[in-house]
Structure 1
């Protein structure tokens, strides 16, 4: 940006001195001094205008960045609030491939977990006996068009249930 300003002010100075030379074939010391002062004033005015324009552009950029950040933060906050509002008892939880994996029977936002009563069809398809519930991190859930969605396919969720640790959770 500085190079552009210097080039602009140099061009203006050359143009002004060329105009001064064309107007007077025999300049006097007094007229040269006046013309030089006018050219200097024009250069200073141009430089001040360029600096002001740059300052305004920077200020606009900072304002736009702040507005964009506030907008993104607001959108993320709204999304988190919507997700939290959807984490209710008996809310259906879908896999990422669109199958029902179960329903929420307890939410513990302090620990960041949701407890799911596994769908009967999934329970019976598991080779591991006695798996009826699963604890899932809230961060593993999102709110989609079909409601709450787990970030795993049905097959991935079943594999996690088959190999994951078994805990006893007091209802």
Structure 2
């Protein structure tokens, strides 16, 4: 049947199929995200922190050059771990919010099919500021910060080792 000849019920059925698929995609992304990035970053930061802390007594020379580098590296690792845990919690809220926004989008489109209102696409809604997911933005920023902290901790640790163990 041509697109413009579809009945309201057929349009609603197609819309509902789209809605379920996108919602399932959000849930799959949620599971994947929560099981991967934060877990790896926390593991790496904890490992770097733990190994450097465990071997500090065994390998440090009697005279330490630039002693501030090691505690700064540890602080970077600790902050990385803490912010990763916070990012995980904010990420959960981001997915919950995104699913709610998707529900609103579905209802808007359903209302349009029923002739109750005009469609406002998600792009138009974002431009108008109606479907911003601030939690997603916070997670993105936290991801950048945590990766930067992890890299900074490693650089500080490498510099400390290079200065004190040459």
Higher strand share: 1
Shorter-normalised TM-score: what interval? 0.3 to 0.5
Larger Rg: 1
Query: Does 1 or 2 have the higher relative contact order (CA < 8 Å, sep 6+)?
Result: 2
**TM-score for both structures, normalised by structure 2:** 0.34
Of Structure 1 and Structure 2, the greater helix share is in: 2
In the superposition, the TM-score normalised over structure 1's length comes to 0.34
